[in-house]
Chain A
């Protein structure tokens, strides 16, 4: 059974780097592609980026200068780093598996990351 679980600090200070990890069970991250998406409180979804089965990455142009997605195949995990955060980066962060035609077919439960001093 496919499961994804986000983990990371519950609070990040402005100007610091937000770091999250997604642990995948039921599938290998060396297959398919894997994504991060975020949702500010009360607002819509925003795609952050992908890491492909090859290890290549692609990012939302609006976040590209601050985002890094990486993976640890030995732990079956992939990670998100978002630098120089501000209050505008406060959101629920989701990890998900990429399915057919750029869909996202399995999602983690999400984790709220407030940015506050």
Chain B
């Protein structure tokens, strides 16, 4: 299984929206509605932000939303805030009880 493909970096100004993509194959992202997104601030553990493609855990602001089209999933952060600056990772079920992560995207709030 290969890692999912994410852009290394993304950026936006406060108040703007930014979208991060996560591209896989029909054997992972495209084959299951089991895409998750994690936020990781520097030196901290990852935090679950989105699961099952578009669901938000309790306490995650509705500025964070997820979607999927074909083999590509996306995380959109609307109304960017300084505290959103972090690394973001996608993951997907990849069949045979395996999970694969993306390489991560560093989001910068300008």
- Contact flag A47-B99 (CB < 8 Å), given A101-B93, A102-B36, A103-B36: yes
Interface string of A56-96 (1 = CB under 8 A from B): 00101110000000000000000000000000000000100
Which residues of chain B come closer than 8 Å to A94, judged between CB atoms? 45-46
Contact digits for A33-62, partner B, Cβ 8 Å, 1 yes 0 no? 000000000001111001000000010111
Which segment of B9-17, B67-75, B78-86, B100-108 sits at the interface? B100-108
Q: How far is the CA of A83 from the CA of B36 in the complex (A)?
A: 30
Our pick among B47, B52, B57, B101 for the contact of A44 (Cβ within 8 Å) is B101
Cβ–Cβ contact B48 & A61, under 8 A? no
Q: Tell me the bound Cα distance from A100 to B100 in angstroms.
A: 16
How many pairs of residues, A versus B, come closer than 8 Å at their CB atoms? 67
B19 within 8 A of A: no
Known: A46-B101, A58-B98. A100 touches B52 (CB 8 A): yes
Complex CA gap A41/B45 in Å reads: 13
Q: Give the CA-CA distance A33 to B40 in the complex, in Å.
A: 22
Beta-carbon contact of B98 and A107 below 8 Å: no
Which of A47, A103, A109 has the largest count of B CB atoms less than 10 A from its CB? A103
- The yes or no answer to A99 lying at the interface (CB within 8 A) is yes
Say yes or no: B101 contacts A102, CB within 8 Å: no
Name the distance in Å between A16's Cβ and chain B's nearest Cβ: 26
**Contact of B99 with A102 in the complex, beta carbons under 8 Å:** yes
Q: Which of A45, A47, A50, A109 has the most CB of B within 10 A?
A: A45
Q: Give chain A nearest CB distance to B58 CB in angstroms.
A: 10
- B interface vs A, CB < 8 Å? 1, 3, 32-34, 36, 38, 44-48, 51-52, 55, 57, 89, 91-93, 97-104
Can you list 26 A-B pairs with a CB-CB distance of less than 8 A? A44-B89, A44-B103, A44-B104, A45-B46, A45-B104, A47-B91, A47-B98, A50-B97, A58-B97, A58-B98, A94-B46, A99-B57, A100-B55, A101-B33, A101-B36, A101-B93, A102-B36, A103-B36, A103-B48, A103-B51, A103-B52, A105-B57, A107-B45, A107-B46, A109-B44, A109-B45
